[in-house]
Amino acid sequence: MDTTADDIVVVREVAIAARPETVWEFLVDPEKVMRWMGVAVDFHPRPGGGYSIEVIPGNIARGEFVEVDPPRRLVYTWGWDPGDTSLIPPGSTAVEFELRPDRGGTLLRLTHRRLPDPASAASHAEGWAHYLARLAVVAKGAEPGPDPWIRGRS
């Protein structure tokens, strides 16, 4: 996690044993997204298109796609519906995915910008580490199994 006085940022990198085109589909296809994150997904992956992800029951992230450049770069705004436990309103932060070919697979770099404070950054860093690990499993053709963060909450 990197921080500056003006911008609190979470950065995560993960090597994925799948081509960028395959990983891309797991970032923009709602059915594929739900295999690694969320219980309900509504995506409109085009600049200005909205999205919502019910990450765990009752916790819904919402935002808008800003940049869609398959299979290299995806940027969307991010925040939580009112009533969720976060102080991050929908669309107030930005999530960037950059995909680069790497030794027959993909190096995915996630950057989550404009987080409001170190506590939010720490919470989101933990969440992204959890979900990117699940993405790496499913993109290579395996199943990550039930999300332990969901079990017992629904």
The tokens describing 35, both together, are: 């295999």
Supply the pTM of this predicted model.
Answer: 0.91
Residues pairing with 117 in the sheet: none
What does the alpha-carbon distance between residue 119 and residue 91 come to, in Å, rounded to a whole number? 19
At a CB cut-off of 8 Å and minimum separation 6, what does 137 contact?
36, 143, 144
Write out the CATH class of domain 2-139: alpha beta
Phi-psi region of 134 (alpha: psi -120 to 50; beta: other; left: phi over 0): alpha
Q: What is the phi/psi pair of residue 127, to 5°?
A: -65, -45
Locate the domains of the chain by residue range. Answer: 2-139
Q: What is the pLDDT of residues 108-153, one digit of tens each?
A: 999 999 999 999 999 999 999 999 999 999 999 999 999 999 875 5
